[in-house]
Amino acid sequence: TSRPVKKANYGNRGKSLEDDINDSNEYYLANGVAVIHKKPTPIQIVDVHYPKRSAAVIKEAYFKQASTTDYNGVYNGNYIDFEAKETQNPTSFPLKNFHEHQIRHMEAVTKQGGISFVLLKFSPVDEIFLMDSQCLSGFWERMLQGGRKSITKEEVEAHSSYIPLGFQPRIDYIKVIDEIIRVSK
Amino acid sequence: TSRPVKKANYGNRGKSLEDDINDSNEYYLANGVAVIHKKPTPIQIVDVHYPKRSAAVIKEAYFKQASTTDYNGVYNGNYIDFEAKETQNPTSFPLKNFHEHQIRHMEAVTKQGGISFVLLKFSPVDEIFLMDSQCLSGFWERMLQGGRKSITKEEVEAHSSYIPLGFQPRIDYIKVIDEIIRVSK
Ligand SMILES: [Mg+2]
Ligand SMILES: [Mg+2]
């Protein structure tokens, strides 16, 4: 009997990294594994109408740049904080996907004893990697000092943990965190 | 020389609990004490316009009920998660200020080894208390079983830590957390 390996893979095309992470977080929450949520998108509200007998309507608002990261929460007593990014580039991960204040936020989290990382997805090949934020900071500093503005795929492979796509949870990043905690002890 | 004790107190009238907490969190962040942020208000976006040469404008959106709490972050390796509420009632704290899913969220956080609590402010007397979420859950269950729909001021005083308003930080809740951590060890 043939195994539908490719089929399962293709079935995911079109599903964003964020959707898969949200599904995984729901799975973790429902099973008492971890409590991790996506933060709401920050919005600058300018004008709100209050119609009688119905809900307030926001009539004018703008997207604000996030000052921190996409996700945070708690796993087994550990503070978890991460950003998820995908690229259409198959050979390198552009650093313009990140903002200076996100890098500084992740550094502050690490200093407070939290676990901070990024989930990087190379969308053309459906590959997801977990890179520790201290490692990301290293590549960021290289850029600031005039070096390349991206992390090559080879560098990502060498300095991250590959997370194979699964069924449930879809992206089992907690498994990698277990390893990070184990090694740090 | 007279000390302007009352003046400092009056000077705060009109400043919301949220403003004071945000200021305190900024102080904690700037001084490397803790990394704790307010989550953005959750918004359901219905219509967005993309004008040429200028930023996207949200033309129709609605406020969504928060599924978790107002604030979270990390302090000295501990996951911190809390909700802030104020009441104009001088003698009791109405439980209608909370939602079922917020109570369940705080319970899930506690199960994961996080530190979860509420900051309760009696605005008429400018008094702020930190109540552990497990204690709040107890009063919540009493209500669900037909008991009173509020926590009396005496109960709050007996089961919480009073946080005197200070200068910097304005609301030094980390000091109470230190005590919680010390006792739990
Ligand atoms: Mg993202
Ligand atoms: Mg609140």
Q: Please indicate, yes or no, if residue A106 is contained in any of the structural domains.
A: yes
Q: Please indicate, yes or no, if residue A60 is contained in any of the structural domains.
A: no
| ipTM attached to this prediction | 0.89
For chain A, say whether B125 makes contact (Cβ under 8 Å).
no
Question: pLDDT 10s per residue in chain B (185 long)?
Answer: 344 444 444 445 557 999 999 999 999 999 999 999 999 999 999 999 999 888 999 999 999 988 899 999 999 999 999 999 999 999 999 999 999 999 999 999 999 999 999 999 999 999 999 999 999 999 999 999 999 999 999 999 999 999 999 999 999 999 999 999 998 87
User: In this structure, what CATH number is given to the domain that contains residue B142?
Assistant: 3.40.1350.10
Q: List the single residue in A63, A113, A114 with the smallest CB-CB distance to B56.
A: A63
Please list all protein residues whose beta carbon sits less than 5 angstroms from ligand 1, which is an ion: A 70, 84
Chain B residues whose beta carbon lies within 8 Å of the beta carbon of residue A114:
35, 74, 77, 79
Q: Please indicate, yes or no, if residue B49 is contained in any of the structural domains.
A: no
Q: Please indicate, yes or no, if residue B45 is contained in any of the structural domains.
A: no
Mean pLDDT of chain A: 92
**What is the pLDDT averaged over residues A170-179?**
96
Which residue in A has a C-alpha nearest to residue B65's C-alpha?
A40
Among A19, A22, A65, CA closest to A44: A65
- Sorted by sequence, the CB contacts under 8 Å of residue B163 that are 6+ apart come out as B119, B128, B129, B130, B171, B172, B173, B175, B176
| Three state DSSP letters for chain B | CCCCHHHHHHCCCCCCHHHHHHHHHHHHHHCCCCEEEECCCCEEEEEEECCCCCCCEEEEEEECCCCCCCEEEEECCEEEEEEEEEECCCCEEEHHHCCHHHHHHHHHHHHCCCEEEEEEEEHHHCEEEEEEHHHHHHHHHHHHCCCCCEEEHHHHHHHCEEECCCCCCCCCHHHHHHHHHHHHC
Q: Please indicate, yes or no, if residue B60 is contained in any of the structural domains.
A: no
Range of the structural domain that residue B180 is part of: 5-40+66-184
Name the minimum distance, in Å, from the CA of A47 to any CA of chain B: 9
- Sorted by sequence, the CB contacts under 8 Å of residue A146 that are 6+ apart come out as none
Ligand 2 centre to CA of B85 (Å) is: 5
CB contact (8 A) between residue B40 and residue A35: no
Please list all protein residues whose beta carbon sits less than 5 angstroms from ligand 2, which is an ion: B 70, 84
Q: Please indicate, yes or no, if residue B53 is contained in any of the structural domains.
A: no
Please write the tens of the pLDDT for every residue from A126-146.
999 999 999 999 999 999 999
Q: Please indicate, yes or no, if residue A56 is contained in any of the structural domains.
A: no
Q: Structural domain tally of chain B? A: 1
The H or E element spanning position A153 is helix A153-159
Name the minimum distance, in Å, from the CA of A150 to any CA of chain B: 27
Q: Please indicate, yes or no, if residue B159 is contained in any of the structural domains.
A: yes
The one-letter code for the residue type at A75 is Y
